[in-house]
Structure 1
Amino acid sequence: METTTAQSTPPVPPSPRGPKKPRKQAVLEVLGKTRLSPRLLRVRIGGEQYSHLRRSTQADAYVKLLIADPASGLQPPYDLDALREDTPELLPARRTYTVRHWDDEAQSLDLDVVLHGHGDDSGTAARWADEAQPGDRIALMGAGGGYTPEGSASSHLLIGDHAALPAIAASLESMDPEATGLVLLHLDEEEDLLELTRPAGVELRWVIGPRERLLEAVTALDLSAGTGLQVFCHAERALTKQLRRVLVADAGIPRDQISISAYWALGRIEDQFQAEKREAIGKIDE
């Protein structure tokens, strides 16, 4: 009987980058809270580990909060790999929030959190923010970001809803004083209107009521002179897809002049929303 000698497969050389390092967590403390409107709460957090955050200079800089169920008994920082392996049901929820203000000198940052619902219906992050007390510890990762108003832009168009209000407010404050443009901001209720600092040449229009009115307001704009126009457009996912068609397919604004993505999706918690970004339902660009 003929025999063959098994040949061993040569070992795969290790990746030159080595194993992926876990993201560093910054464990900060709640320093205070300010109610900006009936449905918008500002939470100031800070502490010695502020420097652990990758400080972003983008106007739409964001961080991810790690919020553990109080009943779990977990305290930050979290060993996410061990939890994922042994007790995935205890993994802290991740929630993404725009940094409204950075204060490097005071080693603190402000997060503006939209409050919606009551009790268990309010959402993980909204409930955390509403119940947070000075001295409470919270773990964060980040920061990310990808948009800042360009001084070379001929004009600016910023479109968003309540969730995008902090990013739009921060963007307006970062603009050149001579900048021109238009902001369309949707709110469910007029009582949540805020005074926003902005260049004199940038008009602010509030769109109050059903979110479909934001699409109507954008559709009614004359966008034929889109050369040099820089656009920031972030809202609920289904609405953002419709806005993308108006801006790109209909108005013909070059895609590289537009910062556009969904900040949230109706009927989805963030874990589902983030996972669906890899699927057809979660894609904004067609």
Structure 2
Amino acid sequence: MQETSVPTPPPVERIRHAQRRRTLTVAARERLTPHMIRLTLKGLELHGFASLGADDHLKLIVPDADGGEVQRDITPRRFDAEAGDLVIDILDHGAGPAADWARSVQPGDPARIGGPRGSAVIGGGVVHWLLIGDETALPAIGRRIEELPAGIHATSLVAVPGPEDEQLFRTRGTHRPVWIHRPLSQAARSERFLAALDGLKLPARSFVWIAAEAAIAREIRARFLLEGHDPAWMKTSGYWTARDRDAAEAP
């Protein structure tokens, strides 16, 4: 996995956004794959909404079983300011308030969000992205791929339950997908990720982005560091933890 050279890391611009809760309307609902529901949200309160980073997250505010409300982190999958459309993808893993809400919501129903609080925009200099994650990371990975400029390449390494959960991304760049198939019951195991990394060669100016179960993400990061990858060319996030699956909307 080691590159032939270690160039100057790309700049990262951190941008703060004004905090605001918004009440929107569900305009469309689509079963994207067996385990992913796509919602298109619209509303006048999207005026001033900003999401500048592919892995931004907003708070989706949904009812809980006790009649209160809970917040879940959701990636803004796509935002079209001109059309006034905000698209979010919600993992349907069979449990959890966000998944329950996404299964039952209908066009015309209200949807409440907060944020994003900020964006981290990785600047120029990256010519190749290695995007590693599980199904919880698919919205951010898909957005990154679809926003690639021409001439930039991405390799994605994503674990999903089966071929029916694979997604196709349209991009101006070039993209090579690698899919790992394993049941949701094995979502907290790292073996298949690590095996898929064997023999992987990265070109110079490769940025490694990792988002998965927290322990898996740390293990993958440690492997890249052991192989000599510059940590300044990496970003690692634990999107959920095996010990608290529901709170993180995990598989």
Q: For this structure pair, what is the TM-score category when the shorter chain's length is used for normalisation? A: 0.7 to 0.9
Determine the C-alpha separation between the residues in 2 that align with 1:107 and 1:70. Answer: 31
In the alignment, structure 1 residue 96 sits paired with structure 2 residue 73? yes
In the alignment, structure 1 residue 46 sits paired with structure 2 residue 42? yes
Query: Do the aligned partners of 1:147 and 1:259 also contact (CA within 8 Å) in 2?
Result: no
* Partner of residue 79, structure 1: none
* Partner of residue 9, structure 2: none
Larger helix proportion of the pair? 1
Larger Rg: 1
Determine the C-alpha separation between the residues in 2 that align with 1:148 and 1:202. Answer: 20
1:222 pairs with 201, 206, 209, which one?
A: 201
**What amino acid sits opposite 1:68 in the alignment?**
P
SS in 2 for 1:221: coil
After the TM superposition, list the runs of 4 or more consecutive aligned residues in structure 1 that deviate by more than 6 angstroms: none
Residue by residue over 1:112-140, the C-alpha shift from the partner in whole angstroms, topping out at 9 and shown as x without a partner, is 111112xxxx2110000000012221221
Which is worse superposed, 171-180 or 22-31?
Answer: 22-31
5+ residue gaps, structure 1: 1-21, 73-89, 275-286
Determine the C-alpha separation between the residues in 1 that align with 2:230 and 2:100. Answer: 40
Q: Please, what TM-score do these two structures have when normalized by structure 1?
A: 0.72
* Partner of residue 54, structure 2: 59
Determine the C-alpha separation between the residues in 2 that align with 1:155 and 1:178. Answer: 9
SS in 1 for 2:74: strand
Q: Please show how residues 252-271 of structure 1 align to structure 2 within 5 Å.
A: 252-269=228-245, 271=247
2:135 pairs with 139, 162, 173, which one?
A: 162
Shift of 1:198: 3.5
Determine the C-alpha separation between the residues in 1 that align with 2:228 and 2:198. Answer: 13
Q: Please show how residues 127-146 of structure 1 align to structure 2 within 5 Å.
A: 127-144=100-117, 146=119
Higher relative contact order (CA 8 A, sep 6+): 2
Shift of 1:204: 1.2
Q: 1:254 to 1:161 in 2, by over 3 A?
A: same
Query: Do the aligned partners of 2:132 and 2:209 also contact (CA within 8 Å) in 1?
Result: yes
Shift of 1:215: 2.4
Residue by residue over 1:42-72, the C-alpha shift from the partner in whole angstroms, topping out at 9 and shown as x without a partner, is 011121111264x121122221111123763
What CA RMSD, in Å, does the superposition of the two structures yield over aligned residues?
A: 2.4
Residue by residue over 1:214-270, the C-alpha shift from the partner in whole angstroms, topping out at 9 and shown as x without a partner, is 1221244235x5x4221111111111111110122x122222211211111124156
Larger strand proportion of the pair? 2
SS in 1 for 2:242: coil
Q: Please show how residues 1-286 of structure 1 align to structure 2 within 5 Å.
A: 23-51=19-47, 53=49, 55-69=50-64, 72=67, 90=68, 92-117=69-94, 122-144=95-117, 146=119, 148=121, 150-199=123-172, 201-209=174-182, 210-211=186-187, 212-223=191-202, 227-248=204-225, 250-269=226-245, 271=247
Shift of 1:206: 0.9
Determine the C-alpha separation between the residues in 1 that align with 2:233 and 2:53. Answer: 16
Q: 1:176 to 1:61 in 2, by over 3 A?
A: same
Determine the C-alpha separation between the residues in 2 that align with 1:174 and 1:24. Answer: 26
SS in 1 for 2:244: coil
Which is worse superposed, 140-149 or 94-103?
Answer: 140-149
SS in 1 for 2:53: coil
Determine the C-alpha separation between the residues in 2 that align with 1:131 and 1:206. Answer: 29
SS in 2 for 1:143: coil
Q: 1:50 to 1:188 in 2, by over 3 A?
A: same
**What amino acid sits opposite 2:192 in the alignment?**
R
**What amino acid sits opposite 1:133 in the alignment?**
Q
**Matched positions, count:** 226
